[in-house]
Amino acid sequence: MNKINKIHSRFVPLQEENVDTDQIIPARFLKATTRDGFGKNLFRDWRYSNDNELEPKQDFILNNASFSGEILVAGKNFGCGSSREHAAWAIKDYGFLVVVSSFFADIFKNNALNNGLLPITVSDSFLVSIFALGKEATLSVCLENQTITMDATGAVETFEINVYKKTCLLNGYDDIDYLLSNKAAIENFEKKQSVSKL
Amino acid sequence: MGKTLFEKIWDTHIVQEVTDGPSVLYIDKHFIHEVTSPQAFKGIEDRGISIFRPAQIVATADHNVPTQNQHLPISDALSRFQVDTLIANCKKHGIELYGLGHEHQGIVHVIGPELGVTQPGMTIVCGDSHTSTHGAFGTIAFGIGTSEVEMVFASQCLLQTKPKQMRINIEGTLGKGVVSKDIILYIIAKISASGATGYFVEYAGLAVRALSMEARMTICNMSIEMGARGGLIAPDQTTFDYLKGRTFAPASAAWDTSLAYWQTLYSDPDAAFDIELTIDAATIEPMITYGTNPGLGIGITKNVPTTAGMQDEGERKNLEKALQYMGLTAGQSLIGMPVQHVFIGSCTNSRIEDLRLVADLVKGKTKNPNVQVMIVPGSQKVAKQVVKEGLDIIFSAAGFEIRQAGCSACLGMNEDKVPAGEYCVSTSNRNFEGRQGAGARTLLASPLTAAASAITGVITDVRTLL
């Protein structure tokens, strides 16, 4: 997994709440057997009319050339619905490294963390302030200090992240490395369980 | 202090606590399907490791399979490749697969319980958010992403942070024409599509005790639609009677041992919950959704809400956007509105009891000519039972089309889709934009409400037909 720590970038403001994973990547694009290439179908039905790449919907934020960057900022309850990890893959594959919202759905958050995509939960008021920033504005994220800063105003907020997950992201470790290092404990547990069931 | 049902199961499955981090949670059963597993198999192979406990995995093909002509090769090349990849992976790694053509094939959350694989006290995961269904048996069951599928392949464990706990008591008696789907749609409408995020929910109370296992599964199934990781119900005599004699349920002496354990699985009287709610079942009407998340639902005799008096700007915008997508007007009634499709199926409502409810209502009646009605049984076993009970004759006479088992029009992954702009009363679990096909307009409801609307051709309060 990629390491992640400091990101300084412009951002794409997606001012929608309850963005579900069916919008992030519709089911008809889940037929792949690899993790690659989902970015081109990110927000497919919000992005294009008639499922046609030649007909971009001008009012959708990803089609607005004034906005770009490695940070996606969205309304509350981002990533609700289906557990499809393809949603995290699509966001990452499109080029985002961070998603900011005031509230994340559980499974999406785990999927993001497992893919080196940093979900940052900010307060409602901080989110409103980010949305109020201009097109050229930038955000600075420091995972090590757990801070997100609006560079224009210097306003900074600290965010929560599990210490273990933070270590994983900073070092590019994944859970499987950890679990595999605990095989003996798992096997012991299984032995005890089978005895207790006799 | 006593323990909750959730804590009793959780505590006996903790292999290890991680300092300042999540716990290593042991997983008893792992269900997999064709859509969220291929990348996990590849991950294991790329690491050069084998699957740790293949005997604890059960596979089926459900999300991306056709519901017609399942004996023929799948015509969509990508779908065929995905299903073939599952077959190859299961063979290579020694995993039991109930694929197309197998008598046990069906929607993963229908077959687990009906085969007796799902048993009280277990931890169960699957790369599908509706894994919460299995909680109806008193299990910790939840949906996971593909990276987590890979973790369970590698170690039969997951790193998990203990969730908070909520109990929802549903007391009293349900009214005529009101079923378990209405209970869960009512709860989600009450606490919103994100109201239980971070929680595991226990459903309790006399109205829950009175429900069959299949009705309980419908409730637990939709726990995720209010953001909960999972939902569960303490096992009781109804649970034990359902399980006895099932293909993979314990038998003879093993049954007695298991039963003794299962009978300890309930929340102690002094157990503490972070939140507790109580609902009177008698106040619940048949429910229907009008918006684009499962929390936007109303009692069928109520009007679509208006933005008048809404303080929250986001909430107002959401409602306006949802109504625009749905082609509805704030303040309108839904009763009497024409619909073009009715879908009866999905892991929420495709079990034999659901289909019996529908058959009882439509017996001797025919569908409205302007409505297309599709019934998709949850499994091969359910499909067989439909024929055994002669329900297929009732459905055919009514003009309802019966398909073969699969997830079908619930998620619009195969060819079973609702055309753009058209309305579908659906017994499934999600009414998101485009869920049943790009531009499709989904109204979630119970099998009874769906069947009633199929007969009249308009959204109907089923109580007027009883």
CA nearest neighbour of A42 among A67, A65, A60: A60
Residue of B nearest to A128 (CA): B314
The Cα of B318 is separated from the nearest Cα of chain A by a number of Å equal to 7
User: Could A81 and B39 be called an inter-chain contact, meaning their C-beta atoms sit closer than 8 Å?
Assistant: no
Residue B17: the pLDDT is 86
Q: State whether residue B185 is helix, strand or coil.
A: helix
What CA–CA distance (Å, rounded) separates B112 from B123? Answer: 13
Question: What is the distance between the terminal CA atoms of chain B, rounded to a whole angstrom?
Answer: 48
Backbone CA torsion sign across A192, A197, B2, B6: positive
User: Could A185 and B16 be called an inter-chain contact, meaning their C-beta atoms sit closer than 8 Å?
Assistant: yes
Lookup result for tokens 């399942």: B70
Question: Which 8-state DSSP code applies to residue B61?
Answer: -
| B3 backbone dihedrals φ, ψ, rounded to 5° | -110, 155
Residue B313: the pLDDT is 83
From the list B21, B147, B432, which residue is nearest A111 (CB)?
A: B147
Q: Which residues pair with B167 in a beta bridge?
A: B202, B276
From the list A85, A165, A183, which residue is nearest B145 (CB)?
A: A85
User: Could A114 and B148 be called an inter-chain contact, meaning their C-beta atoms sit closer than 8 Å?
Assistant: yes
B372-375 and B401-402 beta bridge pairing: parallel
User: Could A197 and B18 be called an inter-chain contact, meaning their C-beta atoms sit closer than 8 Å?
Assistant: no
Average the pLDDT over A91-111 and give the result: 97
Residue A195: the pLDDT is 63
User: Could A30 and B26 be called an inter-chain contact, meaning their C-beta atoms sit closer than 8 Å?
Assistant: no
Chain B contacts of A1, Cβ < 8 Å?
A: none
Q: For an interface test with B, give the residue of A2, A17, A171 to mutate (most B CBs within 10 A).
A: A17
Are B444 and B343 contacting, i.e. CB atoms less than 8 angstroms apart? Answer: no
Q: For an interface test with A, give the residue of B19, B33, B35 to mutate (most A CBs within 10 A).
A: B35
The Cα of A127 is separated from the nearest Cα of chain B by a number of Å equal to 12
Q: For an interface test with B, give the residue of A1, A107, A195 to mutate (most B CBs within 10 A).
A: A107
pLDDT digits (tens, 9 = 90+) for A42-61: 999 999 999 999 999 999 99
User: Could B47 and A179 be called an inter-chain contact, meaning their C-beta atoms sit closer than 8 Å?
Assistant: no
Return the axis-axis angle of helices A163-171 and A106-113, rounded to nearest 10°. 40
User: Could A33 and B412 be called an inter-chain contact, meaning their C-beta atoms sit closer than 8 Å?
Assistant: no
Q: For an interface test with B, give the residue of A16, A35, A82, A127 to mutate (most B CBs within 10 A).
A: A82
A6's CB contacts (< 8 A; 6+ apart) are A140, A141, A142, A143, A144
Chain B contacts of A17, Cβ < 8 Å?
A: 314-315, 317-318
User: Could A186 and B21 be called an inter-chain contact, meaning their C-beta atoms sit closer than 8 Å?
Assistant: no
From the list A16, A31, A179, which residue is nearest B79 (CB)?
A: A31
Residue A196: the pLDDT is 59
Chain B contacts of A78, Cβ < 8 Å?
A: none
Global ipTM: 0.95
Residue A193: the pLDDT is 86
User: Could A175 and B85 be called an inter-chain contact, meaning their C-beta atoms sit closer than 8 Å?
Assistant: no
Residue B315: the pLDDT is 86
Other beta carbons less than 10 A from residue A36's beta carbon: 9
Q: State whether residue B411 is helix, strand or coil.
A: coil
Chain A contacts of B74, Cβ < 8 Å?
A: none
Give the number of A-B residue pairs with CB atoms closer than 8 Å.
Answer: 181
Residue of B nearest to A185 (CA): B15
Is the pLDDT at A197 greater than 60, yes or no?
A: no
**Helix extents (H) in B374-418:** 380-388, 391-398
| B218 backbone dihedrals φ, ψ, rounded to 5° | -60, -40
- Low-confidence stretches of chain B (pLDDT < 70) are none
Residue A198: the pLDDT is 44
Q: DSSP assignment of chain A, as one string?
A: -----EEEEEEEEE--SS-BHHHHS-GGG---SSS-SGGGGTTHHHHBGGG-TTSB-TTSGGG-TT---SEEEE-SSBTBS---THHHHHHHHHT-SEEEES-B-HHHHHHHHTTT-EEEE--HHHHHHHHHS-TT-EEEEETTTTEEEETTTTEEEE----HHHHHHHHHT--HHHHHHTTHHHHHHHHHHHHHHT-
What CA–CA distance (Å, rounded) separates B236 from B456? Answer: 39
The Cα of B19 is separated from the nearest Cα of chain A by a number of Å equal to 8
User: Could A77 and B21 be called an inter-chain contact, meaning their C-beta atoms sit closer than 8 Å?
Assistant: no
What CA–CA distance (Å, rounded) separates B141 from B143? Answer: 7
Question: What is the distance between the terminal CA atoms of chain A, rounded to a whole angstrom?
Answer: 42
To the nearest whole percent, how much of chain A has pLDDT over 90? 94
